[in-house]
């Protein structure tokens, strides 16, 4: 099983293959299209990520000491962003998720290429994922 840092490095390497941001956006959209569908029962306000301009639903379940995330969005770029976060954080220990720095976001230049609203939404998704991790681990983020 890969560590969060190893997956982040892999993503940074994949994004370095693209010359411009239009290609990177297309890749993000493609990741979103491949995101496994979340069960319809989680598409309620209870699972909705607040702070996102588009609708994002997120759920997490603990399996064998690892947190498994499922999500969906009604916006294609946002769906790709949550797919990236799930790739990095899903199937990891809650403590590791809670303490993840997620430096790949800056490494691939995503922050400066997102609109302020999308950037805020990205931070909201990260916070929700880390809060799930904290709930399951009981550990404080360092």
Active site residues: 52
Residues 91, 41: Cα–Cα separation, whole Å: 22
Distance, CA of 59 to CA of 72 (rounded, Å): 9
- Dihedral angle of Cα 37, 92, 136, 71, to the nearest 10 degrees: -20
Contact between residue 63 and residue 70 where contact means Cβ atoms under 8 Å apart: no
Q: 50: which 2 tokens?
A: 């607040």
- Cβ atoms of residues 35 and 71 within 8 Å: yes
């Amino acid at each position: 099983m890969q560590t969060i840092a190893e997956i982040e490095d892999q993503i940074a390497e994949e994004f370095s293959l693209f010359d411009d941001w239009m290609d990177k956006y297309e890749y993000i959209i493609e990741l979103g299209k491949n995101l496994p569908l979340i069960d319809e029962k989680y598409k309620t306000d209870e699972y909705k990520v607040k702070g996102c301009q588009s609708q994002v639903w997120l759920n997490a379940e603990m399996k064998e000491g690892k947190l498994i995330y499922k999500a969906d969005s009604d916006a294609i770029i946002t769906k790709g962003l949550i797919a990236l976060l799930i790739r990095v954080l899903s199937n990891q220990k809650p403590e590791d998720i809670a303490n993840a720095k997620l430096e790949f976001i800056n490494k691939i230049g995503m922050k400066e290429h997102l609109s302020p609203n999308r950037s805020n939404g990205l931070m909201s998704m990260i916070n929700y994922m880390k809060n799930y991790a904290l709930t399951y681990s009981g550990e404080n983020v360092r």
